[in-house]
Structure 1
Amino acid sequence: MRIDIINFEGKKTGTIDLNPAIFGLEPRADILHRIVVWQRANARAGTHLVKTVSEVAGSGKKAFKQKKTGRARQGEKTNVHMRGGGVVHGPVLRDHKIDLPKKIRSLGLKMAISSKVKEGNLIIIDSEKMSTIKTANVVKVLKNMKLDSALFVGGDSLDTNFKKSIANIANINALPTIGLNVLDILKHKNLVLTADAVKAMEKRLA
């Protein structure tokens, strides 16, 4: 599988062979769904918490006397049906993380990448490096490449100037190869890889 390499001006600078075991798989919705659920679950903090009757601040004293008030009888002010009382069956501190086999995670990442190839939304560039931090220059590049939603993936590290230049551009994000994940790939229309990223991915996923 061969694809053209272009520069930021949209001009062809060469070609690169892609490993079909990574870039040529048939995507499966069930695998991708499992990984997205796994990622989103693992990202949850689990710090939600409410106070029960025994934890909420307040006295255990009876709200008012049992008889001769004309009101319905009540017990403690901290009971769940009272304003300011405890909460019953509310959320508690918990770990939302779920397990997913490493083979499934690896397969899902390959399928997400392959889905961009199948859609015709994979672009290979020679490099993401920029000499200065300039958002206007990146906007011009995106216009040349006709990109309005894209995930750029660099090699082992990401060019600092490029990363800062895209910080204020909506729907444009960048990651080093080690940070590449299914959720971010699927959230963007286009996947833009550098030549170094392709080599690093083939080393990581082959």
Structure 2
Amino acid sequence: MQVPVYDLEGRAVDQIELADSVFGITPNIPVMHQALVRQLANARAGTHDTKTRGEVRGGGRKPWRQKGTGRARQGSIRAPHWKGGGVVWGPHPRSYRQEMPKKMRRLAIRSLLSVKQRENQIVVVRGLTDIEPKTKVMKGVLQRLPLATARSTLIVVDQRRDNVRRAAGNLEDVKVLVAHNMNIRDGLKYERMILTPEAVEVIHRLWAQEGA
């Protein structure tokens, strides 16, 4: 499919071909959901921990004798029902990591890009990699491009571009992402997706192969 290419002034100056196998497939929503759940799960540290009655401090001796006090029998002041006692069935360190077949991960990315294109949320911009590393300059460019009223913007470049990152670093709800780090979470979080022509080439190279 052909889509317009814009310059930094917001003018359509050319056309670029987006591969139908990446930007024009029927989105697989369940796979996208599974990929998102996997990414969020894999981001969890899993370092949470609670102490059992055997790990809390104190409670080494019986608080009072078994019989004759009129009180309920107790074996330790660190039993779970005591204040300061151990925790029953509390969380302990664990891994939340989930696995997902490579073909499903690739399908999720293609589905994401197809959803973005179908909803006209993708804008291809030429010259962005040469932008002056100033917040004011980037802010002006984003306001002149289509979908200027979008609540958030994801800028996708072909490789690390420090000038682009510095220009967008102080802008709220704007993120710069290298194309090979494309992921479901950022794609869904940010409304408008700005691609450079070089980033489009990388995306095609990564996800447009036959049988992908």
* TM-score relative to the length of structure 1: 0.93
Aligned to 1:42: 42
Measured at CA, do residues 8 and 158 of structure 1 come closer, stay the same or move farther in structure 2, by a change above 3 Å?
A: farther
Give, in whole Å, the separation in 2 of the partners of 1:158 and 1:148: 24
> Letter of the aligned partner of 1:63 in structure 2?
P
Within-5 A mapping of 1:121-200: 121-145=121-145, 146=148, 147-155=150-158, 157-200=159-202
1:83 aligns with 2:86: no
Aligned to 1:2: 2
Contact 1:38 1:98 in 2 (8 A): yes
Give, in whole Å, the separation in 2 of the partners of 1:40 and 1:95: 12
Determine helix, strand or coil for the equivalent of 2:82.
Answer: coil
Give the share of equivalent positions with the same residue, in percent.
35
Contact 2:29 2:111 in 1 (8 A): no
Contact 1:123 1:192 in 2 (8 A): yes
Determine helix, strand or coil for the equivalent of 2:129.
Answer: coil
Contact 1:48 1:92 in 2 (8 A): yes
The alignment of Structure 1 onto Structure 2 pairs a total of residues equal to: 205
Within-5 A mapping of 1:39-118: 39-118=39-118
**Cα displacement (A) at 1:123:** 0.6
**Cα displacement (A) at 1:129:** 2.3
Determine helix, strand or coil for the equivalent of 1:191.
Answer: strand
> Letter of the aligned partner of 1:202 in structure 2?
H
Contact 1:150 1:191 in 2 (8 A): yes
For structure 1, the residue ranges without an aligned partner over 5 or more in a row are: none
What do residues 11-66 of structure 1 show as CA deviations (whole Å, max 9, x unaligned)?
12321111100010111221111111111111111111111111112132012333
Determine helix, strand or coil for the equivalent of 2:14.
Answer: strand
Aligned to 2:28: 28
Give, in whole Å, the separation in 2 of the partners of 1:189 and 1:134: 23
Give, in whole Å, the separation in 1 of the partners of 2:75 and 2:81: 11
Aligned to 1:120: 120
Contact 2:124 2:194 in 1 (8 A): yes
What do residues 82-116 of structure 1 show as CA deviations (whole Å, max 9, x unaligned)?
11111010101111011111000000100100101
**Cα displacement (A) at 1:171:** 1.6
Contact 2:129 2:157 in 1 (8 A): no
Contact 1:109 1:182 in 2 (8 A): yes
Which stretch shows the higher mean deviation, 46-55 or 61-70?
A: 61-70
For structure 2, the residue ranges without an aligned partner over 5 or more in a row are: none
Supply the RMSD in Å over aligned alpha carbons: 1.5
* TM-score relative to the length of structure 2: 0.91
